[in-house]
Amino acid sequence: MSEPNKNGGVIGAALLAGVLAGMLALHFLQQRRIDREIPPGYRYTEKNDDAPVKTAPYVLLAENTYSDVSLARVSIVDERVLAICGGRDIFIEEKPVAPGRHIFLTFTPNDVAGYRDNGEMKLLAISQTELYAGNEEKFRKIWATEKGQAFFKSLATDGHLVFIADAGEKLIHILTVEGKYVRAIGAKNAEKNIPGLILPSPYMDLALAKDGLLRVTNCGRHRVESYTVEGDLEHWWGKPSARAEDFCGCCNPIAIALLPDGGYVTAEKGKPRIKLYDSDGNFSGVLVQEKDFSPGDKPDVAVDADGKIYVLFPTQNRIAVYGKITDAKSE
């Protein structure tokens, strides 16, 4: 019988040690890479999937599924629902849900807002880099950014000023309704104690509240921020975790709408759901759960003057209208 190959055993042990050392080094390199990519304080480990879900006291009032349009956004303008199509048109419906009509455009709209001028409805719309003004017949371009990274995602107006959420440049453009540039706000500013927007994916929404402050989603920080028109950060709320009352994933919420009492309606992606919060950011409940959406859905929300909530289910090409249980009983 031949003797064991001692040298072979030594070589094998050395190779195994080398493989283990390489795997350990790769682990630490990956961890260091992750630590650089995710800002401190924005990781979470809580898992609470089996916990009871607090639901909001709302019921479904109406819904409609569309076969001739591909819906991307839903907005309320002058008591009407504007469902923005994926193509170059806007589909307008009288509320709550009724047969609508198309406005055909020469650009792809990302959002629409409106205001009254001497009784006449004026509309504003944004493409990826341009601002348009018009009515239900025709639009004209009144301003375009020269910034190469621009990606306009949301729009709001008070009838005098226009506010544009730019997810590419990570700031808010402010202009007059005539298209004159006023200022940009939201950028990182240490002197004003503004940390800046973190947007890992191009989702950014804003809404103008009755108190005159802009509510802006800072989805990479998992929170909603409030800014003055001059650009001061007044307050914020929200935090990351897997709990229902917080925001999970890389970047949520992706959309917001404001209730008449100052409360919030939020929409999330990844784990798509619609939630309600009071005016201070305290969790009120879940309106639409993940199981009601299709995988990969990136929903949108809007609220009308009566407090009814419009939810867009993109994959299903459906808009559902929800109201408080008391409202449903009175109708």
Q: How many CB atoms lie within 10 A of CB 305?
A: 10
Tally of residues, the chain: 331
User: Residue 18: its pLDDT value, please?
Assistant: 57
**Cis peptide, bond prior to residue 39, ω within 30 of zero:** no
Neighbours of 121 (CB within 10 A): 13
Output the six-digit token pair for 85: 């199509």
317 Rama sector, left if φ>0, alpha if ψ -120 to 50, beta otherwise: left
Phi first, then psi, for residue 292 (nearest 5°) are -85, -10
Contacts with 8 (C-beta within 8 Å, 6 or more apart), sequence order = none
| CA dist list (Å): 142 to 13, 54, 138, 208 | 72, 45, 13, 21
Residue type, 17: A
**Closest of 111, 132, 134 to residue 123, by C-alpha:** 134
The stretches in the chain having pLDDT less than 50 are 1-4, 6, 10, 19, 24-47
Token pair 């639409």 is at which residue?
288
Domains observed in the chain: 58-330 (2.120.10.30)
pLDDT at 145: 96
Cα distances from 154 to residues 73, 270, 319, in angstroms, run 10, 20, 19
pLDDT at 328: 56
Integer Cα distance of 319 and 118 in angstroms: 31
State the pLDDT at residue 95: 59
User: 225 - beta bridge partners?
Assistant: 216, 236
With the C-alpha atoms ordered 154, 262, 118, 74, is the resulting torsion angle positive or negative?
A: positive
pLDDT at residue 70, as a whole number: 81
